[in-house]
Each structure stands twice: as structure tokens, then as C-alpha cells.
Amino acid sequence: TSADPMSFGRRYVIVNPKNGKLLPLDREQTPYHQLILSAVDGGTPDKTGTAKINVRVLDSNDNPPVFDNSVYKVKLLENSPKNTLVIKLNATDLDEGTNSEVYYSFSSYTPERVRQMFSMDTHTGEIRVRSNMDYEETNSYEMYIQVVDVNDNVPQIVLSSLSSPVREDARADTVVALISVTDRDSGANKQVSLEIPAGLPFKIKSFRNYYTLVTSAFLDRETTDAYNVTLSATDGGKPPLSSQKTIQVDVADVNDHPPRFEQTSYTVYVTENNAVGASLCTVKAQDADIKENARITYTVLNDNNHGIPVTSYVSVKADTGEAYALRAFDYESLREFHFQVKAQDGGIPPLSRIATVYIYVMDSNDHAPLIVTPAGNGTRSQETVQKNADPGALVTKWWPMMQMQVQMPGWCMCSRQPQTWTYSKCMSTQGRSGPPDASWKTTPPHLL
């Protein structure tokens, strides 16, 4: 190929193997060509691959009909009856198919008296006697025959090639299809224009009866994944004839959308002493692309929490985004932490997004209270009281400590072991008083 004024920048030629000259294709001379395509890489030594290409040259109506003779002479008896065959003309066309069909008629140079005397069959080329002839009146007739064309053929749309699907990031003027249009008529009747509907991201570029369908704007598969493009060919006849052909152009996906999480952050509350492997939550992301470009893989980003890798606390299933605990959490040592989950698609190059998961460990009542004052020896504490103490005098106070149980109210129930005193209860901020009727002179030490 070489550059020329064609709007699509190509014209088809062959190379003369003897002198290297470029020659236009001529179907009537060589209807088929066999080419060998070679591809050479840049290695050392280089490697070569070959492929055979068989080219069939399509016909173009570039040859006029030719009569067997330029001049025909016929003798007739003057008394020849009507419909007598005068001569059967024959014209041939080197083109093929409809381009080689021939129609006959008298030319405009043929006198009217000849037209009245003879008739012409437009399809067969037969000339016959129409009226009675009189030698004494006219001893010769001269007629001019031409091949005529009437606009009785609709344009034919031929799709030479179609590149579908087209990448959604294809540049403007990317060639989608090569199209040719033929019309069996001649003159203005064979002058054809090709159009497509407005509003499509495509346009037609033309040179004579050859056309290219190219992109005119960027495509977006997520908006429209396929286009039905109707090609309309109309000739220049009066009245004009037209034909249509619809082609489907699919749009190929490009990885131009990253995964998108349903939430940018997740908050999870989990009670301490959970089971190892317990499900914490499921993070979910969607991708507007398709196939591999939309296949999402979830991973936990490696980060430290209080000096310990967060991956030792939690793990995420790569295909579902379900997060689960790798250990039992202890509220007294770890009350909250967070980790990040990355959702990455399978495109080349891959795209990704990140979401943050906040974990709050809830307290459970897993520790008994301790009495921290008065401090005793082991589990006992000895207190003294004056023997003449008034009833209701303060003996001692004790302070129970709720071990780390701070999420529940700091209430505790206190009672003495069964001895001589009755049951009592107190809040953690109250003291224990002696009974008003105790006999301080006769009663031995009491164990509470």
C-alpha cells in the first residue's frame, strides 16, 4: 500500500517482481494474488515467521461494453413482414456479475423515421421490422445503437472487513470497517453516497465508491457495549434508489474502573473471648468492568498494631472479602484496633481501592472482684475495736475492686460468712458498721 488522496489513506497496488514498479490492481488481468507476509523480530540472530495471504480482486465496473463489430450491414426484402429479424447485435463486457450485464437501445442520433420502422429488444439486442418498407421510397436506413442504462438497480453494500470489538479507549479515526458500494447502473445512476445515522460515535470517510467507518469520539463500554450501525447507500438516479445494511460493532472492555467499596470504612463490635476463626464482617466491592477486569481479590495490608502485625489478629478471604479472627481477643489487653483491606481487580495493569475496618472489643464479666483494703494476710485481716464503743461505731471499711470490668456499673454485693451477725450489703463506696446490740464484754472475736 502507499499513501494517496483517499480519505482513509490507502490504495491497493501490486509490485512488479521484475522492475519493482507499483501497478494498480486489474481483476480482468489477474483476478487472484498470493502473497507471503514475513515478520522479523529484533533478536540476534533474528527470527522470521511467515504467513500466506490469498487475495481475490473484486470487480469494479471499469470496462464499457464492446460490440463485435463497429459497423453492421444488413440487406432486407422490401416486402419483409413485420417482426422479421433484421439482426441480433452482440456486445460484451469484461467485467463480471451485474457489471457485465448489457442493455441495448437506439442512440439519440438515430432518426425518428428509423425508430418507427424498426424495434429494438433492450435485453437481447435483436432488431426487428416494425412497419412495411418501400424500396422506392427509401432504399436504405442507418441506425445507431448504444448500450443504455436505466436506474433499475439498487446500490449493493459490500462489507470488506470489520474490526469488532473495538477497544473503548480507541483513538478518534480508528478504522472499524472497510466498505465498498457498487451499482450496476451507469452515469449518475451509479453515483452512490453512503451515510450512517447521526448521534453515533462513528463517521464515514469516502473516496469514490470506497468507504471507511471510523470512530469519531471515545467509546465507553460501561455506557454502551454495542452499536448497531445502519449503512444507507443512495444512488444519483431520478428517482434515486437506496439500500441498507446493518452491522454490529461491539465495544471491548478496558480496565478503566477500579473496584469501589460499598463503604469506605466498617465498624465492628466483638465480645472478648471470641472463638478463633469467628467471622467479624464482610467487606464488599464492585467493579464496573467485566471478566478479568472485574474479578476482585481482597487482601489485608500488612501493618502493625501496638508493635504486633495486624495480620496476626485477622485474615480476609481473598474471593469473598469475609474477615475472621485469628485469635481470641482480650478486652483487658486490647480494646480496639483497625486494619485496611485492599480490593484489587484482575486487569493489566490492576486497579485497587482500600477500605478501613475498625474493631472494638467488648468487655465480658470474666473476672471476680478483689478486696484491696484493708490489706490482710492472705485471705484474712484483723481489726480491733474498743470494748466500750458505742453501738453503731465504725469498725472498718473495705474497698472491693472490680478487676478491669469498667464497662458495667461498679456495684458489688458484700456479705459475711454465717456467724452471729445478720446478712448485710453495701455499695463499693460504703463501710461496714457493727450491730447495735453487740455484747462487747462477753463476745469473742468475730470472723467476717
Concatenated DSSP letters of 54-71: EEEPPP-S----EES-S-
Q: Is 231 part of a structural domain of the chain?
A: yes
Least confident stretch, 49-58, 85-94, 418-427? 418-427
In terms of pLDDT, which residue wins out, 145 or 424? 145
For 34-56, the pLDDT digits (tens) are: 888 888 888 888 889 999 988 88
Q: How would you classify the pairing of strands 314-316 and 308-309? A: unpaired
Q: Is 188 helix (H, G, I), strand (E, B) or coil?
A: helix
Give which of 38, 34, 39, 40 is closest to 17, Cα–Cα: 34
Q: Are residues 335 and 381 in the same domain?
A: no
The yes-or-no verdict on residue 370 having pLDDT over 70 is: no
Q: Is 86 part of a structural domain of the chain?
A: no
Q: Tell me, what's the pLDDT at 423? A: 35
Q: Are residues 353 and 416 in the same domain?
A: no
Q: Are residues 278 and 213 in the same domain?
A: no
Give which of 346, 357, 349 is closest to 303, Cα–Cα: 357
Cα 400–chain centre separation: 68
Q: Are residues 197 and 282 in the same domain?
A: no
Q: Tell me, what's the pLDDT at 412? A: 52
Q: Are residues 377 and 418 in the same domain?
A: yes
Q: Tell me, what's the pLDDT at 377? A: 56
Provide the domain limits for residue 284. 260-362
- DSSP string for 288-343: SS-GGGG--EEEEPP-EETTEEGGGTEEE-TTT-EEEESS---TTT--EEEEEEEE
Q: Is 253 helix (H, G, I), strand (E, B) or coil?
A: coil
| Mean pLDDT in residue range 211-227 | 94
The yes-or-no verdict on residue 192 having pLDDT over 60 is: yes
CATH number, domain containing residue 280? 2.60.40.60
Q: Are 363 and 408 in contact (CB under 8 A)?
A: yes
Q: Are 341 and 321 in contact (CB under 8 A)?
A: yes
Output 427-434 pairs: Cβ under 8 A, ≥24 positions apart: 428/399, 428/400, 428/402, 430/397, 431/394, 431/396, 431/397, 431/398, 432/395, 432/396, 432/397, 432/398, 433/392, 433/393, 433/394, 433/395, 434/385, 434/389, 434/391, 434/392, 434/393, 434/395
Q: Are residues 414 and 372 in the same domain?
A: yes
Q: 312: which 3 cell numbers?
A: 496476626
How far is the CA of 393 from the CAs of 3, 16, 68, 432, 434, in angstroms? 117, 129, 148, 10, 7
Q: Is 267 part of a structural domain of the chain?
A: yes
For 281-316, the pLDDT digits (tens) are: 999 999 999 999 999 999 999 888 777 899 999 999
Of 305, 335, 362, the domain-final residue: 362
| Range from 35-39, 92-96, 258-262 that averages highest in pLDDT | 258-262
Q: pLDDT confidence of 414, banded at 50, 70, 90?
A: low
Q: Is 353 part of a structural domain of the chain?
A: yes
The yes-or-no verdict on residue 394 having pLDDT over 60 is: yes
Q: Are residues 343 and 388 in the same domain?
A: no
Q: Tell me, what's the pLDDT at 428? A: 37
Q: What is the signed CA dihedral for 325, 326, 331, 332, rounded to 10 degrees?
A: -170
| Mean pLDDT in residue range 61-79 | 83
| Range from 17-21, 223-227, 233-237 that averages highest in pLDDT | 223-227
Q: pLDDT confidence of 367, banded at 50, 70, 90?
A: confident
Q: Are residues 231 and 287 in the same domain?
A: no
Q: Are 60 and 27 in contact (CB under 8 A)?
A: yes
Q: Is 138 part of a structural domain of the chain?
A: no
Q: Are residues 308 and 354 in the same domain?
A: yes
Q: Tell me, what's the pLDDT at 329? A: 94
Q: Is 137 helix (H, G, I), strand (E, B) or coil?
A: coil
| Dist. CA 420–CA 389, nearest whole Å | 18
Output 26-34 pairs: Cβ under 8 A, ≥24 positions apart: 26/57, 27/57, 27/58, 27/59, 27/60, 27/96, 28/63, 28/94, 28/95, 30/57, 31/56, 31/57, 32/56, 32/57, 33/57
Q: Is 341 part of a structural domain of the chain?
A: yes
Q: Are residues 243 and 287 in the same domain?
A: no
Of 234, 252, 270, the domain-final residue: 252
| Dist. CA 10–CA 162, nearest whole Å | 16
Q: Are residues 182 and 234 in the same domain?
A: yes
Of 203, 224, 252, the domain-final residue: 252
Q: What is the mean pLDDT of the chain?
A: 81
| Dist. CA 336–CA 310, nearest whole Å | 12
Number of folded domains that form the chain: 3
| Mean pLDDT in residue range 10-38 | 74
Q: Is 404 part of a structural domain of the chain?
A: yes
| Dist. CA 228–CA 202, nearest whole Å | 11
Q: Is 139 part of a structural domain of the chain?
A: no
Q: Are residues 272 and 227 in the same domain?
A: no
